[in-house]
């Protein structure tokens, strides 16, 4: 019986002490300063181009080949976007140099921004990875972007040769955008 009384007294004392422990006042205003940093990767384009993709119906070279992409940003996420990085992976087995340009367009089809630098893809190049960041000051251009265009520009040959329909060379292009968000009270 004595042990039961001692245990009850001990338990009661521990409960009282734990309720009277050292605590700070909770500052709920700290929640206003809270933020959540997250990243989102969006695959944009994946192309495997061969000789016919650079020739017209008369088998004459086409200087520019383009593909249109919708931006992976919604109106709800725009206020939280802090940084954008484009990753572009190319492989070129043609005996020709290419340039890759990424241009942003508004809803009226007017170009509003060209991602810099324009990417040079040398002839007969193995896989090359290029990361291009949009400067923070240029992020507002993305808010007005309805679509953007990947333009693959065929450089003139240095020896006068042309791409033939029978050419087995390939131009591979993969791209993604890494979006950095900071969700916070606005």
In a domain, 3, yes or no: no
Q: What is the pTM of this model?
A: 0.76
Domain contains 130: yes
> Is 126 inside a domain boundary?
yes
Beta bridge partners of 41: 178
CATH number of the domain residue 156 falls in: 2.60.120
Residue 81, in any domain of the structure: yes
Domain residues for the domain of 100 are 36-184
13 domain residue, yes or no = no
Give the angle subtended at the CA of 149 by the CAs of 45 and 104, to the nearest 5°: 120
Please check whether residue 12 lies inside any domain of the structure.
no
Per-block mean pLDDT, blocks of 10 residues, the chain (186 long): 60 65 60 74 90 93 86 75 92 95 92 93 96 90 88 90 93 93 76
Q: Is residue 23 part of a domain?
A: no
Q: Could you tell me which residues are beta bridge partners of residue 170? A: 50
**Spatial CB neighbours of 119, under 8 Å, sequence gap ≥ 6:** 88, 90, 99, 100, 101, 130, 132
* CB atoms near residue 40 (< 10 Å): 13
54 lies in some domain: yes
Q: Looking at residue 24, what is its pLDDT?
A: 63
Residue 71 to residue 148: CA distance in whole angstroms:
7
| Residues sharing a CB contact under 8 Å with residue 44, sequence separation 6 or more, in sequence order | 69, 72, 86, 150, 175, 176, 177
Q: Write down how long the chain is.
A: 186
Q: Distance between CA 35 and CA 79 in Å, rounded? A: 13
**How many structural domains compose the chain?**
1
Cα distances (Å, whole numbers) of residue 103 to 15, 80, 141, 146, 154: 67, 23, 11, 11, 17
């Amino acid at each position: 019986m004595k042990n039961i009384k001692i245990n009850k007294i001990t338990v009661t004392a521990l409960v009282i002490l734990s309720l009277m422990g050292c605590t700070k006042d909770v500052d709920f205003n700290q929640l206003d300063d809270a933020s959540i940093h997250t990243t989102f990767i969006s695959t944009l384009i994946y192309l495997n181009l061969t000789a016919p993709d650079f020739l017209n119906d008369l088998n004459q070279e086409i200087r520019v080949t383009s593909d249109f992409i919708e931006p992976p940003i919604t109106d709800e996420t725009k206020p939280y976007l802090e940084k954008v990085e484009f990753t572009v992976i190319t492989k070129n087995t043609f005996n020709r140099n290419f340039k890759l340009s990424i241009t942003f367009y508004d809803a009226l089809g007017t170009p509003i921004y060209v991602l810099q630098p324009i990417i040079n893809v040398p002839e007969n190049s193995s896989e090359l990875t290029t990361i291009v960041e949009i400067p923070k000051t240029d992020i507002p251009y993305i808010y007005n972007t309805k679509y953007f265009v990947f333009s693959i520009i065929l450089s003139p040959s240095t020896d006068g040769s042309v791409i033939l329909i029978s050419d087995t060379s390939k131009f591979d292009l993969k791209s993604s955008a890494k979006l950095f968000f900071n969700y916070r009270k606005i």
